[in-house]
Amino acid sequence: MRLPRGLVARLLLAQLAVVGVAVITMVATAAIVGPRLFTEHLRHTGEDSPMVIDHAEQAFASSFAIAIGVSLLMALVTAGLVALLVVRRIAASVTALADAADAIAAGDFGVPIPAGGFGTEMTRLSVAFARMAQRLAATEAARTGMLADLSHELRTPLATLEAYIDGMEDHVVPADQASYAVMRDQVGRLRRLAVDVREASAAEEHALSLHPELVDPGDLARSAVEFAHPSYQVKGVELALANRSRGVVMAADAARLQQVLGNLLANALRHTPPGGRVTVTVGAATAQTVRIEVADTGEGIPVDQVEAIFTRFHRADPSRSSGDGSGAGLGLTIARAIIAGHGGTLVAASAGPGTGSTFTITLPTLA
């Protein structure tokens, strides 16, 4: 015989089985113990007539069987009704969650999730399911946004390459060194974008490769400043270093931290006009942490976008094309992920447009 597959039927059968086993055990125990005790008590009364004793035992057996039968029937009916109510309530919560799961699987992340259920376990399950749905919705929104932004970033270099190729075929654009330089530049942008997207994806999956070694944060900052100094001289922006971290050592991936500092210095140069100033300050934040600040006197950041600048493809000015050298908008996203991978933090601060901005890195040191 095939057992029912529904949750309600199976739980109900399980409840009835438990009640049935309990009743059978009770009946068997009473059938073994009851007659002996009855006979023993009857003999204590002084009655020794075999006819009376036999009749009393028969009366006890028949009344016992009737009472047990009626009580068994009532117990099964009552237990069945109670079990049905309990099981239906549990099944209703499970069914609601299953319906919500089907809706989410179909892409409807706004489906209402049952807020509670029968017992704390079902409530915890509902709360956990709601959090999962929110995370899935955020992930899907981020994925959709990334694809849209990536499509936008690809459009400009591809359009430029297509225009130059068509122009060369129609003999409108000369096939000279200048034209090839423009095309090579656009290919380089596509290559950098591919690398940035790969690193951003790895950062979100916490899969960035880090190779820690003993490093001096002051030396890291000095190398980053020396590397960026020629670009600052060309634009006419002053670049200064204040190292107050004498003797501080930390375990970190020097190349990755140089990547972060290089990104912050390039970002500061991009948004600081000629005659401005960028200062890199290295110093102990606490006994176990070191702080590296990159402060500029440039354009500043709108207060409502101070945190948003770390999201993928973000630009404070959406109308600005990446053709201005501002990159794909992934540098700060990757930089924060690298710092987080070192157990540190990267935050930005600004009082608003025209007030400059400060990026602060905090990293653990070796005590």
Domain extents in the chain:
7-112, 122-204, 213-364
The amino acid that residue 324 corresponds to is: D
For 122-204, CATH number out of 1.10.10, 1.25.40, 1.20.272, 1.10.287 equals 1.10.287
Buried/exposed 103-138: b ≥16 CB within 10 Å, e otherwise: bbeeeebeeebbeebbeeebeebbeebbeebeeeee
Question: Residue 208 corresponds to which tokens in the numbers above?
Answer: 């960035």
| Span of 165-169, 254-258, 321-325, 326-330 with lowest mean pLDDT | 321-325
Banded model confidence at residue 321, pLDDT cuts 50, 70, 90: very low
pLDDT attached to residue 211: 87
Q: What angle do CA 307, 310, 312 make, to 5 degrees?
A: 130
Banded model confidence at residue 10, pLDDT cuts 50, 70, 90: low
Banded model confidence at residue 319, pLDDT cuts 50, 70, 90: very low
* Length of the chain counted residue by residue: 367
CA dihedral of residues 183, 187, 193, 195 (deg, nearest 10): -160
Interatomic CA distance for residues 142 and 149, integer angstroms: 10
Summarised one tens digit per residue, pLDDT across range 146-194 is 677 777 778 878 888 999 899 899 888 888 898 899 899 889 878 877 8
Q: Is residue 102 over pLDDT 60?
A: yes
Q: Which residues contact 312 (CB under 8 A, 6 or more apart)?
A: 142, 145, 146, 149, 200, 329, 330, 333
SS3 275: coil
Q: Is residue 320 over pLDDT 70?
A: no
Summarised one tens digit per residue, pLDDT across range 249-306 is 999 999 889 989 999 999 999 999 999 999 999 998 788 899 999 999 999 999 888 8
Q: Is residue 1 over pLDDT 60?
A: no
pLDDT attached to residue 324: 42
pLDDT attached to residue 139: 73
pLDDT attached to residue 220: 92
- Computed over every residue of the chain, the mean pLDDT equals 80
pLDDT attached to residue 206: 66
pLDDT attached to residue 197: 77
Could you confirm whether domain 213-364 is CATH 3.20.20.140? no
Summarised one tens digit per residue, pLDDT across range 335-362 is 888 898 899 999 999 998 999 999 999 9
pLDDT attached to residue 5: 56
Summarised one tens digit per residue, pLDDT across range 29-67 is 777 776 767 766 666 676 667 776 677 767 767 777 777
Interatomic CA distance for residues 145 and 137, integer angstroms: 12
Interatomic CA distance for residues 14 and 33, integer angstroms: 29
Q: Which residues pair with 348 in a beta bridge?
A: 359
Interatomic CA distance for residues 267 and 353, integer angstroms: 15
pLDDT attached to residue 43: 67
- Do residues 301 and 332 lie in contact, with contact meaning Cβ atoms separated by under 8 Å? no
User: Do the bridges between strand 289-296 and strand 357-364 make them parallel or antiparallel, or are there none, so unpaired?
Assistant: antiparallel
CA atoms within 13 A on the CB side of 89: 11
More confident residue, 294 or 331: 294
Question: Residue 61 corresponds to which tokens in the numbers above?
Answer: 């057996």
